[in-house]
Chains A and B, each alone.
Chain A
Amino acid sequence: MRTNRKTYGLLTAILLLLVFFHYLGWLTFFENFARKILNPILTETHKTSVKAGDNVRYFKNRDEFITAYENCLNEKEDNNVLNTKLKLLEDENTELKTQIKYLQKNPTEHVTLDVVGRDLNSAEQIIILNGGSNHQLAVGQPVVIREGILVGKVFKVEPNLAWVRVVNDHGSKIAATILNNDHSLGIVEGGYGISLRMKFIPRNEVINVSEDVVTSGLDGLPRGLLIGKIAVVENEAYQPFQQAILTPSHDLTKLTVVTVLVK
């Protein structure tokens, strides 16, 4: 029993010393060395898991498979129609871009980073990026993918690593607006990594399924970053506000490269 106490005492003392040395900065060399070795391994593991996820789709039964196939065919037809519209819009867009170039005096600075992996010792939806304060990253900056799809916000930064709380994490709250006639405002909250829910939408405003939801810019994030589309509207008579379930614009479990808007 005495030996056990001694072992526990020693282990606790060593851990406390580690913490002390960490905050003094004496462990920085070892931390950076370990991260330098482990970062590529973690990144490759993460990329492999994303690839594996892309190739697997489960169907419970034959009917579900056939329904999915029919939906796929329908979507293909819809896409053909959309492609025609897109062509027209593309021409228009090229013209607009030329004009915007003249108006953009202060372009947004951004940093593109690899996703190292997920936070290992947490049940929350947190991803780790391979860049930190050395790359101009700071707490609260928005993280996006593609043409401005919001992924989350930076909430912890170290010189060469940053932690991002993904929008579908239970702790994430983003001020948002729906692109409907009323431009309804609300707050998008995560649902334990599974769903997105927009709350506090005034009951008298009309919102429809498939309408886009973007950041409103009221909480410091840039306005207009795409969050998702409305999938279900819940407007109960006894509730002071209506709310909506959103489908994220991108699969948030399959992030490999992201862009942080640093200014």
Chain B
Amino acid sequence: MKKIWKIIIALIVSAGIFFLQILAKEFLPYPLNQINIIFAAMAWLLILTGRVGILWYGAPLAFLIEIFSSSQFGLNSLLLLFSFLLIFWLLINYFTNRSLLIVMLLGLIGMTFYRSCYILYQLVFTSGGDNINWSLGGIFSLYGVEIIITTVALTLFYLLTTIFIKKLNPSYISISKL
């Protein structure tokens, strides 16, 4: 029964993130429509809980991403997974205090890693379409905006969560009184 609930929650979380990504892409003006909600939401859950197991909730999301992706099947999901691995490794071994600055840095590193690998793959393994302009300046202008705006979104998510979970959590009052 517990497993069935977990699967249902995973489906709801995935569908929620997927539709948030669609809404962001369709309704927000540039540059806000460049927010990678999928990365920001999953990284936020990972940093907040500190458990790798949380990534299971994103498993159905991987399938949804891939069926509507213009790049090779599986590329985005695998790169996202590897960037979350990097974030988690840094979180466990180096950046252990989880301040806002650390979250921002983790987001920046994770997102840069994700997009760098993506660009590298496109450059090495595909012709990237029939006549793509892969100038370095162009790539940085395009993905730089996405990296910055996603990092800011992740930091804001984390800030809001810490305010509501830590600062406005009544259990802290009773603990401090003890």
Contacts and interface: CB of A to CB of B under 8 A. Distances in A.
Interface of A: 1, 3-4, 7-8, 11-12, 14-16, 18-19, 22-23, 30-31, 34-35, 38, 42, 45-46, 48-49, 52, 116-124, 126, 128, 139-140, 153, 155-156, 161, 163, 165, 170-173, 189, 192-194, 219
Contacts of A19: 73-74, 78
Contacts, number: 130
Contact of B25 (A8, A118, A171): A118
Specify the main secondary structure of chain A where it touches its partner: mixed
Contact of A117 (B22, B66, B69, B78): B22
Interface of B: 18, 21-23, 25-27, 30, 34, 36, 38, 52-53, 55-56, 59, 62-71, 73-74, 76-78, 81, 85, 88, 92, 128-134, 138, 141-143, 145-146
A4 B25 CA distance: 33
A67 to B, nearest CB: 22
The 5 closest A-B pairs by CB, nearest first: A19-B74, A171-B132, A49-B26, A4-B52, A155-B129
A31 B138 CA distance: 33
A3 B66 CA distance: 27
Contact of B63 (A4, A18, A45, A161): A18
B126 to A, nearest CB: 10
B133 A119 contact: no
B170 to A, nearest CB: 32
B78 A122 contact: no
A156 B70 contact: yes
